[in-house]
A and B are shown apart, each in its own frame.
Chain A
C-alpha cells in the first residue's frame, strides 16, 4: 500500500539500466490455480522483471513483493527516454542496497493487478468476456502461490530472500509460512501480520467512492470511462494515509496554490497546495490503475491475517524457517511500529532469528519508498550475511 509516485526526489540517482517486462503463462490447464476461496483459474499470465544474473547454483535470487498499487517494474528504465525509473530503483541496482551485481532480483505484478498479470480487467478465456467482478475472490495466499510458481518456473529452488514493504511485507510473511523451504530470509518493511481496523476503515471509504460513482456500472465499465471520479477519490484518501502530519506540513503547510491571498470564492476548487497535490495524485492514479483491481486488492488486504487458520500468530509463525529482518517507521500511522513489534514478539516466542528496528523518518508509511539510505544500510548486510551462510 503505497504512493509510488510521491518519491520524485529519489529519481535523481536513477541507474540507466534498460530492462523489459516479461510475461509467462502459468497454471496451464489442467493444472489450474486453486484460490483460497476454492475457485479455480488457469492459465494465469504473470508480468515480471528480473535484474542481475542468476548464479550457477541458483542461490542468489531475491524476490521483491510490491505494495498495493505497485507493479513488476521495480528498477531500471524501459527505454532511454523513460521519464522515471522503476518504483524502488533507489534501492535495487548495481552497488545499491539490493546489489544486482551480486544478486538476481525478481519482481512480479500481483495476481488480480492491472499491470500485466491476470486480473479482473482481463478476458476470461472460458466466457470470452472480461472477468470484472466475476474474477475469483482474492487473498494474499493466492498472490503468493502465483509468485511461488513463477520462482519454480525460473528454475530456482530456494530464494535467498523475499523482500517487501506494506502489502508487500504481508506477502513476505504469507510466503514464509506457506512455502517455508522456498526462502532463506524474509525482509518485512512497514508492514504487519494483519491489517488494522483503521486500515480497513480507510479501504472501505476508497471502495465506497468507487461503488458510488455512476461510471462504475457494477464493475462492467471497460467500454466507457469507468468510475474515474470514484477511483481518484479513493486514491486521494489513501494517499493521505501514506503521509504523515509532519511531511504534509513540511511539504505544503498552509501555502496557497496560485496566489498569496484567499480567493473568497466557492468557485475556486483548489485553494491550498495540498488540495492541488491530492487532486493531481488522484488524476494520475486513474491513468494507471483499474478500479476493479483496486477493489479486489484492498479487500484482499482487509482479509489478511497471518494467524488465519492457526490457533495463534505464534502457531502460524512456527511454520517458518527463514531468518527475519523487520523494520517499521516512527511516523507511520497506517502500519504503526506496534504492529511490527507484535510480529517480532511472536517470532521471538517461536525462537526465530529476528532483527527489528524502528527507523526514524518523517515521511510516514511511504518512508520505505523514499528514505532509501538507512534502509540499504540495514538490508544490505542482512542479505550479505545470509548469502555467505548459504554459499559453499
Chain B
C-alpha cells in the first residue's frame, strides 16, 4: 500500500466529472462512452438528456451491469482501437480518466474522432507541482488517490502534463475546443499556471478540419 506521507493526486469527484462531461453534450445526441465502467454516466445521459448511449467495456461484469440498466454495451479492449465501430456513428465520444492507461493514447484519440464528431477527455495532470516536488525532492514516482498503485503495478502507463497534451493535439491535427483545468475537485475555466496547479484537465476535442 502507498505510504500516506507521499503526495496523492486528488481524484476529481466522479460527480463533478460527470457534470462537466454532461455540460458539453447536446441533448438527444448519440454518445459512446469508452471505458464506461458500470454505465453510471450512460444512465444519466440517457435518463436526463435523452441521449442514445453506447458503452465500451473490457470487464464482463460491467457489461452485465450495463445490460441490467437496459442500456447497450460491447466488450472491447481500448488497446486494440475501435475497429468495430463505424466512422461517424456517434456525436460524442467520452473517455474519462482512462487515456493514461491505454498503450497508444494517440491512436485512441484519433479513433475517437473517427467514430464521433467530438471527443470529451478527462486526464490527470502529472505536471502538478506536488508531483514535480515528489520526483525532485524524494525521487519517488507519484501515486494517485483514485489509483493507489505502486509504479510496478499501476495501470497508468503514461504520465503526461497539460502542456504535453496540448503538444500532442497540435501534432496530430486535433483541435482543442475547450480546456478546463480541474483543481481540488472543481473545474475552472481559466487557471493561472494551470499546468502546475491543476490535478486533472478536461478537454473537448474535434477534428481540425473544422467538420461538424
Contact = CB atoms under 8 A, between A and B. Distances in A.
A357 B64 CA distance: 9
Interface stretch (B81-89, B142-150, B155-163, B169-177): B81-89
Interface of A: 323, 325, 341, 344-345, 348-349, 351, 353-360, 374, 377-378, 381-382, 385, 388-389
B70 A389 contact: yes
Given A345-B84, A348-B84, A348-B89, A353 B64 contact: no
A193 to B, nearest CB: 13
Nearest to A328: B75
Contacts of B123: none
B74 A354 contact: yes
Pick the 3 closest A-B CB pairs, nearest first. Answer: A385-B70, A356-B74, A345-B84
26 contacts: A341-B84, A344-B84, A345-B83, A345-B84, A348-B54, A348-B84, A348-B85, A348-B86, A349-B89, A351-B52, A354-B74, A355-B63, A355-B67, A355-B73, A357-B63, A357-B75, A374-B60, A377-B64, A378-B67, A381-B64, A381-B67, A381-B68, A382-B67, A385-B68, A385-B70, A389-B70
B67 A385 contact: yes
B72 interface: yes
A349 B86 contact: yes
A357 B68 CA distance: 14
Nearest to B89: A348
SS class, residues of chain A in contact with chain B: helix
A160 to B, nearest CB: 14
Contacts of B83: 341, 345
A354 B68 contact: no
Nearest to A374: B60
A175 B196 CA distance: 59
A355 B68 CA distance: 11
Nearest to A386: B70
Contact of A351 (B66, B70, B89): B89
Nearest to A345: B84
A345 B67 CA distance: 18
A278 B70 CA distance: 43
**B contacts with A: majority SS:** mixed
B64 A378 contact: yes
A344 to B, nearest CB: 6
Contact of A354 (B30, B64, B72, B86): B72
Residue of A345, A348, A353, A378 contacting most chain B CB atoms (<10 Å): A348
B63 A353 contact: no
A171 B89 CA distance: 27
B72 A323 contact: yes
A323 to B, nearest CB: 7
A256 to B, nearest CB: 38
Q: Which one of B54, B64, B69 has the highest number of Cβ atoms from chain A below 10 Å of its Cβ? A: B64
B84 to A, nearest CB: 4
A388 B149 CA distance: 42
B89 to A, nearest CB: 6
Contacts of B73: 355-356
Contacts of A360: 60
A355 B75 CA distance: 8
A374 B69 CA distance: 17
Contacts of A323: 72
Given A345-B84, A385-B68, A355 B89 contact: no
A385 to B, nearest CB: 4
A264 B165 CA distance: 70
A348 B86 CA distance: 7
A367 to B, nearest CB: 14
Identify the interface centre among A323, A345, A355: most chain B CB within 10 Å of its CB.
Answer: A355
Interface in B17-62: 30, 52, 54, 60
B66 A355 contact: yes
Nearest to A342: B84
A374 B67 CA distance: 13
Nearest to A341: B84
A385 B89 CA distance: 25
Contacts of A356: 73-75
A353 B72 contact: yes
Contacts of A353: 72
